[in-house]
Structure 1
Amino acid sequence: MTTLFSAAVERIDSNAASLRESFGGQRKVSSARPRRDPQWERALLEAEAFVQDIRYGRRPIDHFREAMSTSDFPLLFADSLDRQLYGAYEATVPTWQNYARAATVNDFREVKRFATSGVRGLLSKVGELAEHERRGMDETEYSYAVAKYEAGFALSWENMINDDLNAFMRLPQDLADSARDSEEEFVTRLFCGANGPLTSVYTGGNLLTAALDRDSLQSAITTLMKRTDDNGNPIVVKAVELVVGPGLALQAQEIIDTTEYRTVDPNGNVRIISGNGVAANLRISVNYWIPSVASSSNADTSWWLFANPNGPRPAMEFGRLRGFEAPALYEKIPDMRRIGGGEEPVSFDTEGAEKKIKHVYGGAFVDSRMSIASTGAGA
């Protein structure tokens, strides 16, 4: 009925029709000739009075507004006046520093790292006038090169003007978080593959299939601490890092937080063990990029142990370019100036503003003796 009412008001304002014609040709109701339907008569009288009041200004404007719904104004009510911008997702917390050694390289050429077996070993008893043992040593070479990684964005002048929610103000921070994520993902690929532990690194003695529990973790730590070098000398491991994906984060923390274990021997005697036996010098690192790199079901069951990377020889090394150790943010210099003075922060040709981030890094897996991994497939 809104359309009929609006059309009636227009005809009244233009004096194109009488009140009688405006309301469907019905005769005006009066007390002298009452109609049969009293309800219809009252409604018609109220409508006549309402229209007359509007025509001659006796009705306030807010009464007229109440007669119009939002559907009468599709343009005015097309956009919401209550708008809010949600915050960006929180970037992952980097963990690679806990199990990979950080290094600095001078340029983009391949860098080499050398490891030798040395001549360390037990002394041999030598008889009178007898020759002593003359030892040799083996050497191993590791190499990698850093590469440049970049990303950026461009905004039009119109976008910057329309940004009433400051949605684009956080984009530089997004680039900084991207550099942090890229480091973590790069190091993850040094030890993790599509099926969990990287097959080119974890083979034979440093690859397990045990599920993560207290017994398997204790056994793996013991194995790592019993490592020997090429000459059979023990490798001292004083601290161990347990690396898991988010699928094992709660289970790993539960093992560490447990304060008491109870075991029953074959005779039925209950033995209470205070502590968990594995928490000393052990820390948990939750790497959120493991499920992205490991595409199989092993992503939620695989786990890794790394010796402290600050020891004599790390399991992995991550290098950054000297002078560019931290990611660097750049912006394109604007080349437009308003006549009469005033710089415009956009390009003269496109009226766009551009920013980018640059980071230079690389790395390699160094010594497989300093790590043990498990696919967790033996659950």
Structure 2
Amino acid sequence: MTTLFNSSVERIDSEANALRESFGGQRKVSTGVPRRDPKWERALLEAEAFVQDIRYGRRPLHHFSEAMSTSDFPLLFADSLDRQMYGAYEAVQPTWMNYARAATVNDFRAVKRFASTGVRGLLSKVGELAEHERRGMDEVAYEYAVSKYEAGFALSWEAMINDDLNAFMRLPQDLADSARDSEEEFVTRLFCGVDGPLTSVYTGSNLLTAALDRAALQSAITTLMKRTDENGNPIVVKAVELVVGPGLALQAQEIIDTTEYRTVDASGNVRIISGNGVAANLRISVNYWIPSVATSSNADTSWWVFANPSGPRPAMEFGRLRGFEAPALYEKVPDMRRIGGGEEPFSFDTEAAEKKIKHVYGGSFVDSRMSIASTGAGG
């Protein structure tokens, strides 16, 4: 501020001297050749007196600040001082672990998961000296491999110096959020396609067209809980996940939160029922990537019901590489050192600082009997 003040006073003195020279070098125009405009003379005298007061400290500094406008400092105020950095958008909260089982794989080779029928079944009555039933076991193999995914950024030395708002400080967090988003988007593509429920998985009895309402949801949950294995044994489903996109989030929550509903029979009798009949052991997962994967009109109407993945057989499996279960953040080792000591965190050739994130994952749909989906197109 002192340097700015002194330089400005010097400029004002210079302008005052120029004014005096233009009027015969006299300190006061009233003692020289008469001027034609008395008002102009008074204004000039006031300006000169103001300059002298500023120079010798007879006026406070804030008078000077008020007198100087931004036009007097075109370089200093070239960029607006009223600047601020908005926060990054909130990262999507992942939901995939609510309806897909997490696993760990050892390397990049394809891993196999086997689903067997087992020999579970009702016992058969056997007569005296009769042979008992010999049961066989069938199995189905599922296979997938993990892949490596990366992203990064490089910042020049000049950009780092100019970052007075610390805008670049949040970039590593952006990379971490990118890894989380990538997981959610990957799992979404395991059960969702362009038209909603993935056609290679949802066919026949596990594909509905009903719009999401209490009756349709109750029917889907009932169907899921009545599933049987290859031998006709019941599959026990103790908890269910309802997965919807943001277009159905409020409607799904309204169904769950309803504490009373009314039905009217054919005779016009009204029956009041407490509870909604579906809330027990049911959780809602809002997957924000569904509209990005399902690009048709079904994006806002499709919904899915999954058996909880902690059961004996999950609908999907998402695997990460052992030792790299969490995303890893890296930075390029700097190769520049200042003469006299001190390392610089920049490249010697380009003076750029680089960081990247690496994540290794894969997955597969495992058992279509553990899920039911609806396009919602029939509602």
- Both structures adopt the same fold (TM-score exceeding 0.5): yes
Specify the SS of the correspondent of 2:263. strand
Matched, 1:46 2:42: yes
Matched, 1:247 2:254: no
Match of 1:336 in 2: 336
Q: Partner amino acid for 2:19?
A: I
C-alpha change, 1:288 and 1:58, in structure 2 (3 Å) is closer
TM-score, normalised to structure 2's length? 0.87
2:151·2:358 contact (CA, 8 Å) conserved in 1? Answer: yes
1:72 is displaced (CA, Å) by 4.7
Match of 2:22 in 1: 15
**How does 1:96-107 map onto structure 2 within 5 Å?**
96-107=96-107
2:239·2:308 contact (CA, 8 Å) conserved in 1? Answer: yes
% identical equivalent positions: 81
Q: Which 10-residue stretch deviates more, 76-85 or 136-145? A: 76-85
Q: Where does structure 1 lack aligned partners over 5 or more consecutive residues?
A: 1-7, 30-40
Match of 1:325 in 2: 325
1:11·1:17 contact (CA, 8 Å) conserved in 2? Answer: no
C-alpha change, 1:54 and 1:122, in structure 2 (3 Å) is closer
**How does 1:263-302 map onto structure 2 within 5 Å?**
263-302=263-302
Q: Distance in 2 between matches of 1:219 and 1:17?
A: 102
**How does 1:139-154 map onto structure 2 within 5 Å?**
139-154=139-154
Matched, 1:95 2:95: yes
Match of 1:28 in 2: 35
Match of 2:203 in 1: 203
1:76 is displaced (CA, Å) by 2.7
**How does 1:178-257 map onto structure 2 within 5 Å?**
178-257=178-257
Q: Distance in 2 between matches of 1:341 and 1:73?
A: 39
1:13 is displaced (CA, Å) by 4.1
Q: Distance in 1 between matches of 2:53 and 2:184?
A: 74
TM-score, normalised to structure 1's length? 0.87
Deviations 1:131-161 (A, max 9, x none): 3333223211100000000111111122222
Q: CA RMSD in A?
A: 2.6
2:16·2:48 contact (CA, 8 Å) conserved in 1? Answer: no
Q: Which 10-residue stretch deviates more, 125-134 or 193-202? A: 125-134
Q: Which 10-residue stretch deviates more, 261-270 or 211-220? A: 261-270
Q: Distance in 1 between matches of 2:112 and 2:64?
A: 84
Aligned residues: 357
Q: Distance in 2 between matches of 1:151 and 1:350?
A: 20
Q: Distance in 2 between matches of 1:295 and 1:314?
A: 27
Q: Which 10-residue stretch deviates more, 152-161 or 93-102? A: 152-161
Q: Distance in 2 between matches of 1:215 and 1:190?
A: 27
C-alpha change, 1:77 and 1:300, in structure 2 (3 Å) is same
1:318·1:362 contact (CA, 8 Å) conserved in 2? Answer: yes
Match of 2:6 in 1: none
Matched, 1:261 2:261: yes
Q: Which 10-residue stretch deviates more, 66-75 or 334-343? A: 66-75
